[in-house]
Structure 1
């Protein structure tokens, strides 16, 4: 079973994304990540060879009317207890109770429940969903979805790129705070395809992970191995165990 070590990593990721473009010049995906994101057709793959670049979206007329509010994922809402989240998972995915597995994180002292979901994204393959409960609150603080060979043996790098492009295009039209939006940001071990926050700083992060190869013209080319999607209640100050100051 995949170990869930998600919450603290997102704090550094959000910080790095804010300053990443200069440090990551020359990194490119194997398929082009559009500088001005447009709706991508399912299964359509961009052309190869163009540099990944940070992009922010300017506010549009009426943006306040469609401002995004991130309150969880589908019927599972931030702040819910485990019993309510399990009920939401069963409702959302017509799942059997024994399909939901539990897992504890010994370092963060958080608790997670996980479930495999075929076609979470239409034609996207099987994903694994994880619902993370906070150390102190014992309530839902994060929902994650992962697509990889570990979740679906038939998934391919091309499918991961396609899934990432479809989700990025969707999120770009969702009304996130314009100054919080970043796309196509190279980071260690992958590319942040999308990052955005709502008015309460609850965040969505879409991360394409893989291995980079150095190619001609000083370009680094990414071969994706997994796609990670996070819905996070508080990425800057997550409800996880931390040693009190002065103990060591």
Structure 2
């Protein structure tokens, strides 16, 4: 019974967060001044020491500087369709009590330079994710990002996209670079395991409308 009450509490927290109850003190600025609670524009240029435009060697150095992770501990894969390179690392935590996360650094197909960074909590990083911790992390990050100013176009805060998908935050800086925070909580076949598939993905994207990925062009086929 105690377990059921815990899962009910998690679902209640989810509903409260996305109804805006947990986002206290974050009123929106006037539309003509951009969107956010601050007059200071957001600058979306990467994550920590890893900045958009870096080559693979520099990204590896940045990972070492930020997390103390050596090159041999970094996974490297080439996407079969997009022909991009992904560098992946696992970290025990990024924020207090946020739990383990996977960070993926994406290098463009033509430029071979950093174009996107993803940070993932919950499934599939953990077999049994702590749903309450994942939701708390979403709440903390949403509150953090909304403090800055963003373009009106494409801005979203606390927006439900589907039954189990929530766009906690999305904003573009002056150069059109995007930060996006997406929470998914697919239903479990076992009602007693609500929240077992929860996942939170934070993305920093340099060119969301024109990513450097492989595409078949007219005349190529």
TM-score, normalising length: structure 1: 0.71
- 1:106 and 2:80 aligned: yes
Q: CA deviation at 1:154?
A: 5.0
Match of 2:4 in 1: none
Moved more, 68-77 or 153-162: 153-162
Alignment-derived partner of residue 31 in structure 1:
15
Q: Are residue 244 (structure 1) and residue 217 (structure 2) matched?
A: yes
Secondary structure in structure 1 of the residue aligned to 2:15: coil
Q: Which sits farther off after the overlay, 238-247 or 204-213?
A: 204-213
> What residue in structure 2 maps to residue 14 of structure 1?
none
Other structure's SS at 1:31 match: helix
* Inter-partner Cα distance in structure 2 for 1:163 and 1:212: 20
Distance 1:103 1:181 in 2: 32
Q: How does 1:3-42 map to 2 (within 5 A)?
A: 30-32=14-16, 33-35=18-20, 37-38=23-24
Aligned residue in 2 for 1:18:
none
- How far does residue 247 in structure 1 lie from its aligned partner after superposition? 4.3
> Please, which runs of 5 or more residues in structure 1 have no aligned partner?
1-27, 41-54, 214-221
In 2, Cα distance between the equivalents of 1:232 and 1:84? Answer: 18
Separation in structure 2 between the aligned mates of residue 98 and residue 197 of structure 1, nearest angstrom: 34
Cα deviations by residue, 1:184-236 (Å, 9 ceiling, x for unpaired): 222245111000010010000000012259xxxxxxxx946100000000111
Pair 1:56–1:178, CA change in 2 (3 A): farther
- For residues 181 and 212 of structure 1, what CA distance do their matches in structure 2 show? 27
Structure 1 residues 29, 190: closer, same or farther in 2, change over 3 A?
Answer: farther
Of residues 36, 51, 67 in structure 2, which corresponds to 1:93? 67
Q: TM-score, normalized by length of structure 2?
A: 0.79
2:30 aligned residue (58, 61, 65): 58
Counterpart-to-counterpart distance in 2, 1:212 and 1:196: 28
Q: Deviations over 1:21-70 (max 9, x none)?
A: xxxxxxx9843214483369xxxxxxxxxxxxxx9653569x88621111
Contact 2:38 2:148 in 1 (8 A): no
Give the deviation of 1:73 after TM superposition.
0.7
Provide the C-alpha distance between the structure 2 equivalents of 1:39 and 1:133, rounded to a whole number of angstroms.
Answer: 37
CA distance 1:83–1:244, change in 2 (3 Å):
same
Query: Structure 1 residues 104 and 162 mapped into 2: Cα distance closer, same or farther (>3 Å)?
Result: same
Cα RMSD (Å):
2.9
Gaps of 5+ in 2: 1-11, 189-193
**1:152 and 1:57 mapped to 2: Cα distance?**
37
Contact kept, 8 Å, 1:57 with 1:178, in 2: the verdict is: no
Q: Distance between the aligned counterparts of 1:232 and 1:66, measured in 2?
A: 20
